Amino acid sequence: MVVGLRAIGAKGPGWLWRGPWAPLAASFCSQGPDGARRPEPGPRPTSVRQRDGIRSIVLSNPKKRNALSLAMLKSLQSDILHEAESQDLKVIIISAEGPVFSSGHDLKELTDEQGPQYHAEVFQICSEVMMLIQNHPVPVIAMVNGLATAAGCQLVASCDIAVASDKSSFATPGVNIGLFCSTPGVALGRAVPRKVALEMLFTGEPISAQEALLHGLLSRVVPEEQLEEETMRIARKIASLSRPVVSLGKATFYKQLHQDLRKAYHLASQTMVDNVALRDGQEGIKAFIQKRKPVWSH
239 to 278, contacts with a second copy by CB under 8 A? Answer: 241-242, 245-246, 248-250, 252-253, 256-258, 260-266, 268-273, 275-278
Task: Please state the length of the chain.
Answer: 298
Figure out which of the listed residues 191, 209, 221, 227 binds a second copy, where binding follows CB under 8 A.
Answer: 191
- Select from 48-56, 64-72, 96-104, 288-296 the region that touches a second copy (CB under 8 A): 288-296
Using alpha carbons only, what angle is made at residue 76 by residues 75 and 82, rounded to the nearest 5 degrees?
85
CA-CA distance, 41 to 219, in Å (whole number)? 35
Question: Near a second copy by CB under 8 A, which window of 51-59, 70-78, 95-103, 125-133?
Answer: 125-133
Alpha carbon 55 to its chain's center: 13
Q: Which is nearer to a second copy, 147 or 192 (CB)?
A: 192
Instruction: Estimate the crossing angle of helix 182-189 against helix 116-135, to 10 degrees.
Output: 20
Nearest to 294 by CA among 230, 243, 220, 222: 243
Q: What are phi and psi of 252, to 5 degrees?
A: -65, -40
Q: For residue 237, state whether it binds a second copy (rule: CB under 8 A).
A: yes
Beta bridge partners of 163: 143, 220
| 155 touches a second copy (CB under 8 A) | no
Using the rule CB under 8 A, is 58 a contact of a second copy? no
- Identify the residue among 7, 10, 58, 179 touching a second copy (CB under 8 A): 179
Q: Which stretch binds a second copy (CB under 8 A): 5-13, 31-39, 93-101, 287-295?
A: 287-295
Closest contact distance (angstroms) between CB of 8 and a second copy is 25
Under rule CB under 8 A, which residues in 78-107 are in contact with a second copy? 107
**Quick check: 20 binds a second copy (CB under 8 A)?**
yes
CA angle 53, 56, 59 (to 5 degrees): 165
Distance CA 177, CA 172 (A): 11
Q: How far is the CB of 4 from a second copy (least distance, A)?
A: 27
Q: How many residues sit close enough to a second copy to count as binding (CB under 8 A)?
A: 101
Distance CA 102, CA 110 (A): 17
